[in-house]
Every structure is written in C-alpha cells, then in structure tokens.
Structure 1
Amino acid sequence: MPSFHPFPIRIFLFTVVATLLGGQFVSASDCPNIVLMMCDDLGWGDTGFNGNTIIQTPELDALANEGTVLDHFYSVGPVCSPTRASFLTGRHYFRMGIWTANKGHLPSQEFTLARMLKTRGYATGHFGKWHLGTLSRTVSAKGKGRRPDLHYAPPWERDYDASFVTESAVCTWDPGIGKRARNNPYYENGVATDENVLGCDSRVLMDRALPFIEAAAERDQPFLSVIWFHAPHEDIQAGPEYLAKYEGHGEAAHYYGCITAVDDQVGRLRKKLASLGVADNTLLFFCSDNGPEGGEPSNRMKTRRAGSAGEFSGRKRSVLDGGVRVPAFVHWPGQIPAGVRLNAPLSVMDLLPTVAAITGAETLPNRLLDGENVLPIWKGEQAQREKSIPFRYGQFACLVRGKHKLIIESPNDDSKDRLFDLSKDVSESNNLANQKPELTASMRTELLGFLESAKASHAGEEYEGNDTKPVEKWHPLGKAGQRGNATPNR
C-alpha cells in the first residue's frame, strides 16, 4: 500500500500564502478536524438509520445515533457534478455554469472549503470521485466532447495538498480496470497510478485517505479530508464477501453489498481517528449527492432500481424530493447533540459557511453565498434557517421556504406553477398554488430574483479581473429541449 508522504515544501508555501492573506495558524487542539463524506447515488432510504432493514450499515448507523440525523437534507443538485460544486463552495451550481453532470467545471476563482481552511493552517486532502473538471489536458473519460483542455480543473490546482481522485465514476469493484477506467485512472497527487487500484473501490480510496489523516495528526495540524465514495453509482459490483451477506437477493446483492463496503470503510476511518487520539476533536459529516438511480426504463444494469428514495416521489434527475432529499448526519462529540433527528430544511450549500463559523475562517466579503451558517440549527439552538433553498435543473426551477416547495417552469407563465406543503404532502401530489396565490407569488418572485443573481455570477461579476469568461452560454428558464423531471411517481 502506498503511503502518504508529508509535503514540507508545500506546507511551507501555503503557510506563507495564508499569512499574506491574513490567516491565523492554529494547532489541531484549537480547531476541529473536518471529514466530509459523500456517497454517489445513495437514496434517502438506503441506510439503516433511515429505516432500511435489508442493507447493513452498522457503522453509519452508530455515527448517526451518536450524532444528529438531518432528516430534511438537500443535495440541491439532482445529479452529481452540480451537488459537488455547491458542496465545496456554499454557492448554487448555476452560478458556476455547472448545469448538469459533465458540464462546466469548478472555476479557479471560486473560494472553496479547501482554500478557506488553508488560511487557518489546515492540511487539505480530497479522495475518491472528483467530477468537477478534467484531470488531464489531453484526455477525458467523457470523450472528445468534454474538451479536456477547456475543462482542466484538478484538485491539486484547487487548493488540495493531497489528492487521490478519478475524473468520474468507476466500477465499485476493481476500479482500475474495465470500461469505466478508460481515460479515467486514479490520479495520486497529480500523477496517474495503477498501484493498489483493484478490489473494493471504497477500500482503495480509504487506503489513501487514512495515511493523509495520520500524517496531519502526527504534525498536530488540523485537517480537512473530503472523501467522496463512488458507490453505489454504476457500474455496481460487490466483492465476494459482500455478495455472501446478501445471498438470495439476486442482482440487488451487488447494490446492497457495495453500500455495506462503504460502511466498513467508515468504520475503518473511525478506528483510525480513535487510535490517533483525535476522534473527539473531529467533525464527521455524511450525505449523498442525489437520489437513487433508476427513474426510467433502461437496458442498463438491473441493480439500478435497487436504491430507495424512501417515501418521496422522484429519483435521480428529478427536482422532486426523491431526487434531491438525501440521507445525512453530522457527528461531533461534545458539540452536536446525540440521538437527535432534525426536520429543518438544510443543504450542502450550508457546509462552507458553517465550517467557517466553526473554525473562525473568513469568507470572501464580495462573494454571494446561497448557504448559511446552520451550526445553531445543528446544536438545537435555532429551529429554522433564514434563507430559502433554490434548485434548478433542466426546465424546472424550485424553491424551498420552510415547509413549502415551489416548482416553476417559466419566468412568465405561472399556469404550471406547483406549490406543495412538504410537512403534509411528501409525495408532492397536492398542488396548492391556486389555494395560496400570495405565497406562490412571493416565492416565485424570490426564485426569479435568485436566477437573475445566478446569471450575473455566471457572467463573472463577482470574480476579480476582466479575463473571466463563462465556458457556456447561460441556460434561461423555459428553454426548449432542456431535460429534467418533476412529475411525481404514481
């Protein structure tokens, strides 16, 4: 197993840069370590802590029970790349032109979690899936249409000191070979590698994450470790020991097995933190990037329908809650209450402002954030967020304000507007738009205002300098031919 080697030159350089930026350096005892985990295509109902009685997730369940479960948590994006952009920046993905998967990339001007925490002296690492740009200037896993030169945006040029990543999805077993691995190798600190890339993919990436964490702990340096599992995204394959756990479940055994494999690696992470003596000073966060795959008939793998969106309508690629409400919890001993389930609407966009509040880091004063500091909500000191949560995918734009959710399809025509009371109608089948015209109009005005703000951000108005040009034209709401799904399952 390759080991992570500290980068003394790199550490020195980012120390100098952070000092110039006004950063204040702290030891690990002064600021908590941050580990942010995310699965790929994991449904709301795919974990034991959300009621699944088939899939074995004892490690995740234990962390959830010892922490706070976020029952009403939104990925914001109903597909991969948009969620990941918002996760790292605290901003809606439309501000960056990341309309859907494999579109756009993470701009170098964005102020990310990694960039922010380096000003506080953190070591920063990213492990697993990236999907926010190409990792090579000459090839892309998505073919010539991806323009690798135009969309080159690797984590090692986005403020990560260490990284072990693939551009996009790989098979959950033997990720280093097969069709998904074509032009899509693991890159370790910027160099393609075929070392230790066979077997369980969740173990493969954790094999790199743990040495990074250990090295930072030995230096008494706080660390940010972003761990984005590939499972249970297609191609889905479980190893023999995990298939044995689900004998009798047919093809679904692969889906169930690769989730349990993730769970085992989370347990391995937890044991490492305990052995290093940093578990009590480490904040662990877990979620999924969108709802489960399997919304439409397909000849693709039979396992694609194995995922559960719980009681919610819609799945991946839908702005209905089944496509964007995902399993999530936060665990931070002594700081976040244990055994609590919160129903306040929250989202991945809240991570950056919340981590800023926790660590004392400063955000950019001229950078609009769509998330907010929800630490008081996590702690039970505040009941609801102040900001609404916007969504946009294909021909649909949405807004969640408190218990209500509005879905619109046109900036001018309100005849197809839909308003739902999520506290009473989790299937989003009872349209209240005509019954609550004032609320509908107010939320519509707020949503359209957000879209205009996002359009200005996309044009680069918040970035310094005049050389920023968006790689694609703005996607106006109501444009013909845009894909998306907002029809409840019946």
Structure 2
Amino acid sequence: MKNTLIVLSLLGSALFADAAKPNIILMMADDLGYGDTGFNGNTIIQTPHLDQMAKDGIKLTHFYAGNSVCSPTRGTFLTGRHHHRYGIWTANVGHLPKQEITLASMLKEQGYTTGHFGKWHLGTLDKVISSKGAKRKPAENFAPPWQRDYDRSFVTESAVNTWNPGAGNRAKNNPFYENGKALDPDDPTLAGGAARVVVDRAVPFMEQAVKDGKPFLSVVWFHAPHEDIEAGPDYLKMYEEHGEGAHYYGCITELDEQVGRIRAKVEELGISDNTLIFFCSDNGPEGKTPAKRRQGVTSGLRGRKRDLYDGGVRVPALACWPGKLAAGTESDVPLSTLDYFPTLGNLTGYEMPDARPIDGQNIWPILAGEMDQREKAIPFIRGNEVSLVDGEFKLLLPKGELYDLSKDWSEENNVAAAHPERVERMSREIAELLESFKTSHAGADYNDPEFKPVGKWKNVGSKKK
C-alpha cells in the first residue's frame, strides 16, 4: 500500500508539473450539519448551487472536519497538521504560530497570489481589543492573516451576525478588517447577507489575479450558519411556514447563492478548467437537538457540535475540477481537512523544507479514482477525549468505545469487546501520536530558539482518577 501511494503521488506530481499551476478556491461553512444540504438529502433547505457543484464534481460522503469546534479545524485546514501540535486546543484559544508552514506560505512561495475572506478565528486581529475580551490576551495571540502570508484579506476575528454582519451583538470589538484596516460598522458595504459581503471582496481578488496572469489561492470561510443566525426578508419569505427555523434555512440559502456566484465568476473568467474548488464545513451543527433557530441536522449521525461522534466532525463536502475529477461521482473513503495541505502541495510540486510531521495525506489518488482507501488514520482531540478513525473503524478514548462505521452509521453498537487486538493497536497509535504532538508543541519542528510554545500542554485521553 505504501509503495503504491508513493508511485501514485509521483505520477500526480508529474501530471501537473508542466501544466499551469491550478487556481485553488477553498470554501468552508460554519456549523453546517452533515444533513443541511440538498446534495446530502435535505428536502427543506434550498441549496441548488451546491447541489450543482456535487453533480459537476465529487461528493465526499465520509469527510471529516479537523475537530468538532471551529478554531482547531481551521488550523488543520491550513497546515495539514493536528491542532495540538501548535496549541490551538479549542475555539478562541491560542493562535497560529508564524513558524507553521501554511497553504498561503507554501503557495506564495510558488508564485501564487493569496487571499483570505470571511472568518479567521486563528488569533486576534488587534493587539488591544478582541471580540472575546481581555481573557483572549489580544497582544499575546495577535496573528492576523496579513502577517500569515496573505496578500489580500477581509476578515473578522470570530463569528458575526449572518445578516447585516457589521451590526448586532457579535460586532462588538469584532470589526471586519480589510487588509489590516478596521472598517466602520456602519460601512454600507457590510449591509445584507454575510456571505455576499464576504464574496464581494473575494470576486475582485480573483479578477485581479487573472488580469495579472497569476495563479491564486482564495480561502473563503463563510460565517453561516453559526450564531447569531438571521436571514434577510426575501429569504424568510422562502421559508415562512417554518417559523424561527426560517432564519437558519434562509442564511444557508444565502450562502449557497454566493457559492454559485463564485463558480459563475470562475466560468466567466474562462479559468474553470484550471481551477480546483473544495467545499466543506468546520464541524457539526449547534445545539443538543434542532430547535428554534438552531435547525441543523446530521442525517442520523450521532452527536453534534463539540462531540467526537461523527455528528460533530463528519461534514458535507465536495471537490470539483472539470476535466480532472470525474463529474457526478462519490467517494466514501475517510478524508479530512488535514488532507488539503499535502494534496495541494503535491499538485503544485512543493517540497517541504524540513521533516516536520504532516498528519494529513495526499488524497489526489483517491479523488482521481486511483485508490479506494487511505493510508493514514485520522486523529481527533476534544477536551480529554481522543478518537481515531482508521479505515472502517473508530476508537474513542478514554471511553474505550469502538465502532465499525461501515455497518454502524449512528455509532450505536460498541464492538470493542469483539476486537481487543484492534483496540490495543489503535490505542498504541493514539499514544504515539499524542507523544508526537507534545514534541511538536514544545517547538521541536521549528528550529527556532526564540519560539515559545502556545499555551501549556495538557495530557489527554486517560480516565480521570
């Protein structure tokens, strides 16, 4: 298996070595549940543009966010490394160290122009104020995208209202920053749908890159449907029979329209055949059960946001590249946000400058239909809980639960007693990963004597005495 992966990786690199480097668009929703899109079976929420993207590309039916909450997933998304390697334990904690090699730094080095639009959530954007107050330690955790290799950025530190995002409770000490400059909350360009506000900045960035003849990386992290959830009047009319739930449904449809807008712009610019687009969510839906404006669903997966069961981490996902990826297909291979970095590095011919551990893998052979299983297991940590997805099986510690995901969609049948050797092997792998994470967190990967670890390491995965 390992030899096959190496050969296919080399073939993938050769395939794109002589071609123009692809434009890359990476879109992510916020708190969108596995069952919250038409392409995953939702019959209420209208997502025609995402559904069309599914028809034009690959539906990734077993795709994992890096964590069951926001900030850690975003770290895995940009680095290909588990968030515990650099101290982003949970949401609104720590920051992305400058020593990390990210998608932006990797691609910028190869001649890409880079842009980040929407939510950031990987550090503060001001050294004095933070949307989370003084406890967020804004000076210590100052790590804005304009200091993390992005040429253009239009971002907020954390969540905003999904309609009129410059206003409301979420806007306090949480302005939009455009290339490092805070916008006035009354700026008229911040009125309306939060997704449209963000894409209004992403589209000109792409247009300018094409005009300049440069390949681009455009990271678009939508705010919807994270709280505060509000839909505009036209969207509420679409779902008026659903009461408060209309706000949830409406803000997702508004996001969907902007996905369609981005894809239409790619087509208009004549670059669709050389543009790879991914879409996913950062974790499962908010709330213990669907209620009021929290209407996210998981298609029967157990758990929700903040859970390591699949309802908290398994998310809707798509990949689309006309002429390179087969349209109208599905992949049920376990994949992860950890895989973006190594996959895009492979496609663009990037060589790592050091031997730091990468936890994701190049999934191009899987997307291209050349492989039907992954090589690396996928680790998760939330609080003291740890889980590992290895092929069809998933182990959760310290609970000691093992599930066969190929037969147990809802993780209801603990088969640990029937597979003691598998439990032991996966437990050893978890222990080895945790030790590796701890070593990385201490700075061993950086060769930087001035590096100070982000936060204090905490041992996880053991039963509390």
Structure 1 residues 140, 63: CA separation in 2 closer, same or farther (over 3 Å shift)?
same
Work out which of the residue numbers 34, 40, 57 in structure 2 matches 1:67: 57
Deviates more, 1:67-76 or 1:192-201: 192-201
When structure 1 is superposed on structure 2, of 29-38 and 137-146 the one drifting more is 29-38
Q: How much identity, in percent, do the aligned residues show?
A: 59
The structural deviation recorded for 1:347 is 0.1
Q: Which runs of 5+ in 2 are unaligned?
A: 1-15
**1:330 aligned partner, one-letter code:** A
Alpha-carbon offset, residue 27 of structure 1: 12
Q: CA deviation at 1:361?
A: 1.8
SS at match of 2:140: coil
Equivalent residue, structure 2, for 1:440: 423
Map of 2:406 onto structure 1? 423
Shift of 1:253: 0.4
Kept in 2, the 8 Å contact 1:28–1:222? The answer is no
Match of 2:30 in 1: 40
Q: 1:443 to 1:101 in 2, by over 3 A?
A: same
* Alignment equivalent of 2:157, drawn from 151, 164, 167: 167
* Residues 1:327 and 2:316 aligned together: yes
Match 1:97 to one of 75, 81, 87:
87
Deviation at 1:480, TM superposition (A): 8.5
Asked if 1:78 corresponds to 2:78, the answer is: no
Aligned residue identity for 1:123: T
Provide the residue aligned with 1:6 in structure 2.
none
Tell me the equivalent position of 1:5. Answer: none
Q: Residue 248 of structure 1: SS of its match in structure 2?
A: helix
What is the aligned counterpart of 1:375 among 330, 348, 364?
364
Q: CA deviation at 1:471?
A: 2.9
Misfit runs of 4+, over 3 Å: 26-29, 478-481
Confirm or deny: 8 A CA contact 2:397 2:461 kept in the other structure.
Answer: no
Q: 1:466 aligns with which of 443, 449, 463?
A: 449
Name the SS for the 1:37 alignment partner: strand
Corresponding residue for 1:291? 284
Structure 1 CA distance for aligned equivalents of residues 139 and 463 of structure 2:
29
What's the offset of the Cα at 1:105? 0.6
- 1:405–1:422 CA contact under 8 A, matched in 2: yes
* TM-score using structure 2 length: 0.94
How many residue pairs were aligned?
Answer: 446
Q: CA RMSD in A?
A: 1.6
1:222–1:388 CA distance, 2 compared to 1 (3 A): same
Aligned mates of 2:302, 2:225 — CA distance in 1: 20
Residue deviations 1:183-236, cap 9 Å, x none? 000000000013311111111000000000000001110000000000000000
* Residue pairs, 1:244-263, within 5 angstroms: 244-263=237-256
Could you list the runs of 5+ residues in structure 1 that have no partner in the other structure? 1-25, 410-415, 482-490
Residue deviations 1:301-333 (CA, integer Å, cap 9, x gap): 8212x0011120000000000000000010000
Q: Which moved more, 1:433-442 or 1:162-171?
A: 433-442
Please tell me the residue identity of whatever aligns with 1:175.
Answer: P
SS of structure 2 residue aligned to 1:303: coil
- State the alpha-carbon separation in 1 of the partners of residues 342 and 140 from structure 2: 30
Q: Distance in 1 between matches of 2:257 and 2:384?
A: 39
SS in structure 2 of the partner of residue 106 of structure 1: coil
Q: Which residue number corresponds to residue 206 of structure 1?
A: 199
* Pairwise CA distance, 1:358: 1.0
Distance in 2 of aligned mates of 1:243 and 1:142: 30
- CA distance in 2 between counterparts of 1:254 and 1:136 reads 31
Over 3 Å counting, the alpha-carbon distance change for 1:205 and 1:27 in structure 2 is farther
Q: Kindly report which structure 2 residues correspond to 1:188-267, keeping only aligned pairs within 5 A, or say none.
A: 188-194=178-184, 195=187, 196-267=189-260
Name the CA distance, whole Å, in 2 between partners of 1:296 and 1:95. 32
Distance in 1 (CA, whole Å) between partners of 2:110 and 2:432 is 34
Instruction: Report whether the alignment pairs 1:364 with 2:357.
Output: no
In structure 1, the residue matched to 2:297 is 308
Inter-partner Cα distance in structure 1 for 2:17 and 2:413? 53
Please tell me the residue identity of whatever aligns with 1:278: I
Check 1:28–1:248 CA distance in 2 against 1; reply closer, same or farther (3 A cut): farther
For 2:19 and 2:153, locate their aligned partners in 1 and report how far apart those are by CA, in whole Å. 24
Work out the CA distance in 2 between the residues paired with 1:35 and 1:371.
19
